[in-house]
Structure 1
């Protein structure tokens, strides 16, 4: 049976779903439908410039975001889990857009990989959403970082730039900061929260590996050094330098060796 619906139209529909829980479910459904062969590998639908988002949380410039602090107060814990939920919510859109915007030029393996990433991010968001509710809060109660989608807008013209910045900078940064966060949560006696962070860290290593794999393969098509090309694209499209310290072992497990990033640290 030939699928009647294209993968690009399914991705666009998920991107234009504003309700956070519904978007998470839509992302997982697109990934499942693709895996089961229910979506045609055609790209007949243009991706939106910006996904649909709920009215809350209020999105603020990073400079205007209230300081979260590192304390173990109830307010501080809620702020931490809310910030993480927002990152994962936007990550759903970033992965969906990657597959829908660049899938025609990059091929079916690329689409499968990034739809799988989108499904992971949706699962992460669902875990964090439940965590917030268990703490008596909800996603949208606090303001959130407005700048996460800007990287997608700046790299919408170039798959190599998108790969260089989103999985290989933004998600790689998660590999750097999560271990310390994990130790802090364990120190607070929050075993449930620690399990969530452990799962996210394991998955993010795989996500960085997926981005790095496709970036290296794309560089090879043009006979370019992936390390040199990556440094050039990061300087062009990422505001500010990379911040040490780095989780070198997790980055290496994802295929992101020191040759890529060591001399870009600020």
Structure 2
């Protein structure tokens, strides 16, 4: 019997080797595009193995304990590239988790999140290769687990997941990308700055996917998107959104005028 797309996504999620995970994600994407994998959206899956699969390094520490280094050194730039690579590795896992965990969604939902996994794997590979040119590798610096912690918190409700992972945690990357790119360019690392351009372009699409399915689910349940988002942020103790916001990127990602006005009206 041919395994279904969602079963294979769960298998890829359990892989601990980053390169093997990226390879498996790409293969899964190609198989899905070729139409040779059944979807089986009604199947209720159970994770029998510890997830997500991740390598022994980097060590995971609280966010405030991740050491920051001066950008005027190679090690400082490498630490920043490593932090970005760690985010992208976690983003591969969160996209795969969105595919396998939530049954009963339309077929396009699963295709969307598999696309996200494929693009996050590409981003991770770009950053990992650039890190090597600086004399370092993934795992040489500490990392934190904030993104996956929110994935865990929202494992029981696809509405909460769409609200608080792509639209909140990942959308913060839209805001952070321009100043990070500027720092890298000022430090003379134009190759890294160019990678950030690719990541920002694709992440706009990823946040748009989160917006699409959050809106879909709110419509299904008769909920107002602004009111429900605010309620979910409070219920799940989501990180407080703080300016400056990349309003242009957020608008491209599908945030409504009402949502952008909500951000502007928040007291920070």
Would you say same fold, with TM above 0.5?
Answer: yes
Q: Structure 1 unaligned runs (5+)?
A: none
Q: Is the 8 A contact 2:95 2:114 kept in 1?
A: yes
Match of residue 252 from structure 2: 253
Counterpart mapping for 1:99-178 below 5 A: 99-102=99-102, 104-178=103-177
Q: Report Cα offsets for 1:241-266 as digits up to 9, x if no partner.
A: 11111011110111113522414563
Match of residue 8 from structure 1: 6
**How many Å separate the matches in 2 of 1:66 and 1:203?**
28
| Residue 84, structure 1, aligned to residue 89, structure 2 | no
Question: SS at 1:148's partner residue?
Answer: helix
Counterpart mapping for 1:1-266 below 5 A: 4-42=2-40, 43=43, 45-47=45-47, 50-69=51-70, 71-102=71-102, 104-257=103-256, 259-260=258-259, 261-262=262-263, 263-264=265-266, 266=268
Once the two structures are TM-superposed, the CA of residue 49 in structure 1 deviates from its matched residue by 6.0
Once the two structures are TM-superposed, the CA of residue 147 in structure 1 deviates from its matched residue by 2.3
Q: Report Cα offsets for 1:43-97 as digits up to 9, x if no partner.
A: 353245621111111111113221345x221111010000000000000000010
RMSD (CA atoms): 1.6
Q: Is the 8 A contact 2:9 2:97 kept in 1?
A: yes
Q: Is the 8 A contact 1:242 1:265 kept in 2?
A: no
**How many Å separate the matches in 2 of 1:30 and 1:157?**
25
Aligned residues: 262
* TM-score normalised over the length of structure 1: 0.93
Q: Compared with structure 1, are the counterparts of its residues 264 and 15 closer, same or farther at alpha carbon in structure 2 (3 Å cutoff)?
A: farther
* TM-score normalised over the length of structure 2: 0.93
**How many Å separate the matches in 2 of 1:50 and 1:16?**
5
Q: Is the 8 A contact 2:147 2:169 kept in 1?
A: no
Residue range with higher mean Cα deviation, 143-152 or 208-217: 143-152
Q: Is the 8 A contact 2:14 2:50 kept in 1?
A: no
Following TM superposition, where does structure 1 have runs of at least 4 consecutive aligned residues deviating by more than 3 angstroms?
263-266
Question: SS at 1:59's partner residue?
Answer: coil
Question: SS at 2:35's partner residue?
Answer: coil
Residue range with higher mean Cα deviation, 243-252 or 46-55: 46-55
Q: Report Cα offsets for 1:130-181 as digits up to 9, x if no partner.
A: 0111111000011111222100110000001001111101111000010011
**How many Å separate the matches in 1 of 2:199 and 2:266?**
26
Residue range with higher mean Cα deviation, 129-138 or 251-260: 251-260
Q: Compared with structure 1, are the counterparts of its residues 100 and 66 closer, same or farther at alpha carbon in structure 2 (3 Å cutoff)?
A: same
**How many Å separate the matches in 1 of 2:109 and 2:234?**
25
Q: Structure 2 unaligned runs (5+)?
A: none
